Chains A and B, each alone.
Chain A
């Protein structure tokens, strides 16, 4: 029982790291634009299908597949940004959300036309040995997830603190009107942030697909939902919170799956979301309520 708990927690942390990356993508876009891009998951799906197609047609290795996923996700995100965000006024958050929903449907329909089957194979990391830590087993693809997520977050933190683009991004997240008077090119920074988020999401999607070995067009819906839930649990607009939210979601899901079964896992996930909203409206990374209110006022 205790060993199960430990094993589930290890597995959950790995999957949770990938959730954290999805949430990070959402958070970057939300933080900079104050708008939700619910076509985020479907953009990743396009990338994943591009990678799967490349693998099936040309039986290429993991590196080209990875690059195809990344390129597919980023190019699709650029399309979403132009149509649903750049073309719509910044204060019309709902219009952008509805528009990105429409794009989502469009992308899903397009994939369903081109790939009419239900599931498709995705290449996996073959030939890597299982890692044993005492009685606990760590799947090698999970180790890859954990290491990649940690490295990405570290790189992102560094970039935000030390690069010019990172500083511009932070000014926009912190106080958009002040960013404007300081001469920040808001449209350009928003666009690049969108692409950055898609790249992070693409990496997460690649890792998840490679761990599962198969994909369906529903992976877009799945990625949007997991990313959104992890972001809300962690607290809207906080990068650290997004990551913590992802890890918590992963660990809780893995244990619920083991002890309660698949239906129990779904119920536990939504119960967790509900609890997070009621008990910690500012999220686990918790800005104080006064801070959140001041922020809300600022945005009005």
Chain B
């Protein structure tokens, strides 16, 4: 009996410290992984189709953002009856206006060749924007822990500030307003 009491106490203590570390518990990992895999099982999206969707999204988004293409995560999630598409993209930097214009122009010429319907493009655009803001906030929370000090020092004329969302500087503000005005 005594052994049991001590074992329980020990586990409680361990559990307490684990929580303090804010490490994702095995249970949460299991739940999240399961949700993803079940979503794939339930929809008839094969890995090939998902991969195709992924690459098309990368193509589209890279017109506007420079991002880590390999790290793009595409998940389907179920919230009650609703199915949600979760997109997580580590943004390296936002492209400036010129680059975007150029990319769009390039796409335009391609479009003329292929003629996809405009509605589709608009729809996906909307989704991306909302997803993107979500992901940016996610990114911030992740990166905050790692890069707190070094960036503030560098933040001058260089582009370091753009790499990370947690640093505010003049240049970034300008970029932001430029984005908004669009």
Pair from one complex = no
| Chain A residues close to B by CB (< 8 Å) | none
